[in-house]
A and B are shown apart, each in its own frame.
Chain A
Amino acid sequence: MPELFVPESLDDAVAFLAAHVGSALPVAGGTDVLIDARVGRTSPEWLVDLTLLRSLADTQLAGEVLRLGGLATIRSLELDPELARRAAALVEAARVLGSVQIRTMATVGGNLCHATPSAEMPPALLVHDAVAEVAGPGGERSLPLGELFAGPGRTTLDPGELLTAVSLRVPAASAGSCYLRQTVRWSMDLAGVGVAASVEVDGTTVTRARIALGAVAPVPLLVDAAADAVVGTECSAADAEEAGARAAAACSPITDARGTAEYRRQVVAVLVPRALHISWLRATGSWPAGVPAPINGVLPRDAA
């Protein structure tokens, strides 16, 4: 098992990681990193413990921009009432990740940088136009979150770089978002399909929309062609279904223990319209503020 390095500043952390490329891994909550090392998926000589870098846990809201520190825990998102009103997708994604214990430990930065295709945070952040902030030996830079993911378990970060924060757009009014997922079990399971949507409206007409998918491609997908299907509409059932069909066509799922490729494609076509509808209800003020959606998006009146 690896040695532990405990930097007291971000500069120290970056310098150490840059000096130990290939042999050091950052660790925060440890819920992925320790398991990977224990089962031999990774074999680092050093773990760089980020937990003293408390400033990376800060969450700040300034106007329409929310900045989540990389060390912000998933549990902190789940319990944030302001986020529940303004970035419901994020809270809905947070509350289904792992268990209370895992969410208390796991961090936003870890969930993103582990780059699991089925991870909950990426789709929910992508529909809020998230930008990743990165610090590395060459200084700081930022990139659209979608450009962070290179493939299963791989990011585009350069050696020595750390994700320090994610900034996202959270309009205070006339906007809504939603995260839904399909799983075999209700808890302690990875998404078979994860779907996030966001819409902004002028009155009842959609002026801007985003749809993002998890677990149905090697990387989380932002599917603009699907979102375009509802822009300029009042998000009718037919409009939302067209978006679902386009999203299903755009993804490239695999067959594994959580479902066949064809099943996943069909689930995308079903969950995308539900996520859009709930987002539109929120944007038009027709959904009770702060109340999460059923995780499969089935509303009581639909279930009859």
Chain B
Amino acid sequence: MRFDLTVNGDPYRREAAPDVTLLSFLRDVLGLTGTKWGCMTGDCGACTVLLDGEPVVSCLQLAQQVRGRAVTTVEGLEREGELGAVQAAFVSNGAAQCGFCTPGMIVAAEALLRRNPSPTEAEIREALSGNLCRCTGYNKIVDAVLEAAQAPAEAT
């Protein structure tokens, strides 16, 4: 069944089998491999994307359920070829080691900052509690989000 959706601002009309998840659709149909395939049970957050601006785990979202809606992946957070504020802060803080959780972390942090531009450390940890990292111990990730929160607001 063909359906329409918008991904990172671009409109698409595509087919997807009924059991295809948004995660598979993004990676295998659109080739957007920034969104990572992790636990497939909604526990690890590696597949986090924004759906109409709100964070969801794309492994538990059927692609066809996204009909007519707007998806933002980590690829959609750059601005005119430059890294977005959260992305840049992850780089400058060394907030990635193996990097597998990083796209989900960045998208979840982006969702937090859109709702709460000046979060406390506790609010950051709460907002990222659905995103697992097995490398960093989280401190540099939290530092990166704090730094991004202090960056000049981007026109979004």
Contacts and interface: CB of A to CB of B under 8 A. Distances in A.
Determine if chain A interacts with chain B: yes
Interface of A: 1-4, 6, 27, 29-31, 34-35, 38, 47, 49, 51, 75, 98-102, 104-105, 186-188
Given A2-B18, A30-B60, A30-B61, A100 B127 contact: yes
Nearest to A50: B65
A38 B23 CA distance: 15
Nearest to A102: B42
Q: Taking chain B's interface residues, is the majority helix, strand, or loop, or is none over half, making it mixed?
A: mixed
Contact of B62 (A34, A35, A186, A188): A34
Given A100-B108, A187-B129, A187-B130, A4 B56 contact: no
Contact of B41 (A1, A6, A27, A35): A35
A102 B60 CA distance: 9
Contact of A3 (B18, B127, B130, B131): B18
Given A4-B18, A35-B60, A99-B131, 8 more contacts: A1-B18, A2-B18, A4-B64, A34-B60, A34-B62, A100-B111, A100-B130, A104-B56
Interface of B: 18-19, 21, 40-43, 45, 48, 51, 54-57, 60-62, 64-65, 108, 111-112, 126-127, 129-131
B102 to A, nearest CB: 16
Contacts of B40: 38
A109 to B, nearest CB: 16
A47 B19 CA distance: 10
Nearest to A185: B129
Given A6-B64, A31-B42, A101 B56 contact: yes
Contact of B130 (A34, A38, A99): A99
A127 B36 CA distance: 41
Nearest to A73: B54
B151 to A, nearest CB: 22
A30 B129 contact: no
18 contacts: A1-B19, A2-B18, A6-B64, A27-B62, A29-B60, A31-B60, A34-B21, A34-B62, A35-B41, A49-B65, A99-B42, A99-B129, A100-B129, A101-B48, A101-B55, A101-B108, A102-B42, A188-B130
